[in-house]
Amino acid sequence: MTGAVLQIEGLKLDYAVPGGRLHALRHVSLSIKKGEVLGIAGESGCGKSTLAAAMIGLTGANARQSAGTIRLGGQDMASLSEDDRRRLRGRKIAMVFQDPMTAFNPVLTIGGQLTDFQHNIEGLGRAEKRARAQAMLSRVGLSDPALIMGRYPHELSGGMRQRAAIAAALLLQPEVLIADEPTTALDVTMEAQIIHLFRELRDDYDGAMVIVTHHLGVIAELCDRVAIMYAGEVVEEGPVDAIYHGARHPYTRALMACDPAMIEGRTARLPTIGGALPDLRSPPPGCAFAPRCPLATDRCRAEAPPDVQLTAGHRALCHEVRP
Amino acid sequence: MSSGADRSLLRSLVSDPMGALGLVLVLLFLAMALFAPWLAPADPVKLDVTQKFQPPSLTHWAGTDQLGRDLLSRIIYGARTAVSIAVTSVGLAGLIGLLLGMIAGYGPRWLDAILVLLFDSLSSLPMILFALAVITVIGPGTSTLILVVVIVSIPGYARLIRAQTLGLSGADFIQAERAMGAGPVRVLLRHLLPNVVGPLVILLSMDIPVVIMLEAGLSYLNLGVRPPTPSWGNILYDGYTSLRSAPYMVLIAGLPLVLSTLGFTFLGEGLRDALDPKLRHGVPR
């Protein structure tokens, strides 16, 4: 696809764990265009955080990319040296972490860290870097940024810290901003404020955003496109409207049915998806969702499902869907 | 760190009475050590047998020993001996421990395995027995003492730093630095170092009195600082041998030992509280 800032093709990644290798990503292909907001959703353990870490090249020491390519601005990340990859981080691609409580170095002031983050920029004095940092703090909606600059992380509230973390990630105007569960550690009020901030940023920030979350509401609020992950695969991908109003993959449909926000009327029990995730140390030969799927046939259990193109930009990984 | 942060560190240290007492005692002993030639009323090694075993008086504030040397001067110079040995050896061990610990904690796993094996073998040496063995081989003296203390203390410091580094290297903020393009050197020096030195400084200041005691103990056994160089341990030994004729000598040599040990310990504890940024503004969490 042309115009993609970040393009992932056939990515396979596994972790060395006791008892073998855990296949956390099994053939993931995604691409994100400039100015687009992509949501990645799925239950815990589906590989969405691993995918986010792989995008920025910060998977753990026990991770191994066994196949596929990640292209950032057309450049294959695997062809670069570790040093060159490091130089891309912050400038081309940046990340907002889940827990704002631990995302800052506790012994440095916020201003000190935001200034320090700009070490990659040459030809800018310390005063200018501080000014940029302060402007960015004000941009993310922190009142009195001058005061915040001199504060230590523990002196700020969770919401303020998440704003500061977003400011840090946007500091170098990256082409791709990844937010890994940016609102999960916050309370509902703060969550609404941070979502609001992302919406605002989306309008005047021209880079691409990737929002990783298990909260379907966040995606509905923020994203243009959504990829639903299950057991290390993208099982359905498409425009937000198409997925929310016309989900085709049985897993996506089940996931939507479980969202408490979708339930009308009183129920004694919240719906759940029966069964559990397959053991990713030895993934099943067929569809990973087959054991939990109401539509599963013998073919589903034996053969890997095809990638079915449903409409333009909407695809699902399933034997039982038809365009 | 800005001078503002240093000032508030000092303020919170002084606001704790024990910390303030420790600071005063430590400063007193450092001053004694530093300005010994100006403070001492007499030459600490000048003999005057006609004046031996003088009890404290106006001419000899702390009396004289069995060779007629001025005890106050010997105590003041003894502070110099004690402080220089303790600070040098603990400082050197702390520096090496910091370096090795950070390498072990943030470097490749195989290097960590080798270093941990090294720390474990070093720390299996009992300090006193190892000291005696080294003294037997290369002879007693100041440099032997420093060597022993450095070798024996490195593993403790290195382990502390390694554990701190390991615990922090997976922390979100380190990931965040890396996500902003920070390389290993920047992560180590700018982000890990300031987070790990706090506990080390506390441990170092608490180990200084241990080394002062070790120096005094070995000197008491005539295995440390060689006479006539004044050491609190030597004076204590002289006092012990002439306990009947001059009982004050033991007290006079013991007092600075007790006070300096307490001083450094209080200072260490005060620093521990003051260095914790979460306690700094008086809101413990």
Examine the domain organization and report whether A50 and A104 are in the same domain: no
Examine the domain organization and report whether A181 and A49 are in the same domain: yes
Examine the domain organization and report whether A122 and A180 are in the same domain: no
Average pLDDT over residues B149-156: 90
What domain range is A132 assigned to? 94-173
| pLDDT value of residue B90 | 92
Q: Is residue A295 part of a domain?
A: yes
A90–B contact, CB cutoff 8 A: yes
List all residues 6 or more positions away from B27 whose beta carbon is below 8 Å from its beta carbon. none
Examine the domain organization and report whether A217 and A161 are in the same domain: no
Indicate if the pLDDT at residue B278 is higher than 70. no
Q: Which helix (H) or strand (E) holds A311?
A: strand A307-311
Examine the domain organization and report whether A169 and A310 are in the same domain: no
Indicate if the pLDDT at residue B277 is higher than 70. no
Locate the domains of chain B by residue range: 3-275
Which neighbouring-strand residues pair with A14?
A: A23, A64
Indicate if the pLDDT at residue B283 is higher than 50. no
CA of A321: how far to CAs of A273, A300, B123, in Å?
20, 12, 66
Shortest Cα–Cα distance, A59 to chain B (Å): 10
First to last CA, chain A: 21
Which neighbouring-strand residues pair with B64?
A: B70
A87–B contact, CB cutoff 8 A: yes
CATH topology of domain B3-275: MetI-like fold (1.10.3720)
Examine the domain organization and report whether A199 and A243 are in the same domain: yes
Q: Are A101 and A185 in contact (CB under 8 A)?
A: yes
Average pLDDT over residues B78-94: 89
- Residues A297-313: tens digit of each pLDDT: 888 888 888 888 888 88
Among the partner-chain residues A56, A87, A108, the one whose CB lies closest to the CB of B179 is: A56
Q: pTM here?
A: 0.73
Examine the domain organization and report whether A243 and A210 are in the same domain: yes
Residue B7's pLDDT band (boundaries 50, 70, 90)? low
- Residues A106-160: tens digit of each pLDDT: 888 999 888 888 887 777 888 888 998 999 898 888 888 999 999 998 888 888 8
Examine the domain organization and report whether A227 and A129 are in the same domain: no
- Residues A183-214: tens digit of each pLDDT: 887 888 888 888 888 888 887 788 899 999 88
Among the partner-chain residues B109, B171, B178, the one whose CB lies closest to the CB of A102 is: B171
Shortest Cα–Cα distance, A203 to chain B (Å): 23
- Please say which residue of A173, A198, A225 terminates a domain: A173
With beta carbons under 8 A apart, name residues in chain B contacting A52. none
Examine the domain organization and report whether A88 and A130 are in the same domain: no
Indicate if the pLDDT at residue B14 is higher than 90. no
Examine the domain organization and report whether A271 and A233 are in the same domain: yes
Q: Is residue A9 part of a domain?
A: no
**For testing the chain A interface, which of B173, B201, B280 should be mutated: the one with the most A CBs within 10 Å?**
B173
- Residues A56-105: tens digit of each pLDDT: 888 877 888 888 889 888 888 888 888 888 888 888 888 888 887 788 88
* ipTM of the modeled complex: 0.73
Q: Is residue A14 part of a domain?
A: no
A172–B contact, CB cutoff 8 A: yes
Contact yes or no for A107 and B195 at CB 8 A? yes
Residue B279's pLDDT band (boundaries 50, 70, 90)? low
- Residues A235-289: tens digit of each pLDDT: 999 999 989 888 889 999 888 888 777 777 777 777 788 777 888 888 888 888 8
**CATH number, residue A193:** 3.40.50.300
Among the partner-chain residues A61, A106, A152, the one whose CB lies closest to the CB of B195 is: A106
Average pLDDT over residues B245-272: 85
Indicate if the pLDDT at residue B100 is higher than 90. yes
Contact yes or no for B194 and A91 at CB 8 A? no
Contact yes or no for A56 and B177 at CB 8 A? no
Three-state secondary-structure class, residue A81: coil
Q: Is residue A323 part of a domain?
A: no
| pLDDT value of residue B1 | 39
- Please say which residue of A138, A173, A208 terminates a domain: A173
| pLDDT value of residue B276 | 66
Examine the domain organization and report whether A216 and A288 are in the same domain: yes
Contact yes or no for A91 and B181 at CB 8 A? yes
Average confidence score pLDDT of chain B:
82
Indicate if the pLDDT at residue B284 is higher than 50. no
- Please say which residue of A158, A173, A188 terminates a domain: A173
Among the partner-chain residues A83, A89, A103, the one whose CB lies closest to the CB of B173 is: A103
Indicate if the pLDDT at residue A38 is higher than 50. yes
A6-10, A99-103, A161-165, B88-92: which has the minimum mean pLDDT?
A99-103
Domain count, chain A: 2
Contact yes or no for A86 and B176 at CB 8 A? no
Q: Is residue A12 part of a domain?
A: no
Among the partner-chain residues A86, A104, A106, the one whose CB lies closest to the CB of B181 is: A86
Examine the domain organization and report whether A200 and A143 are in the same domain: no
Indicate if the pLDDT at residue B241 is higher than 70. yes
Q: Is residue A231 part of a domain?
A: yes
Contact yes or no for A97 and B172 at CB 8 A? yes
Contact yes or no for B186 and A117 at CB 8 A? no
Decide which of B43 and A193 is more confident: A193
Q: Are A39 and A225 in contact (CB under 8 A)?
A: yes
How far, in Å, CA of B167 to CA of B103, rounded? Answer: 14
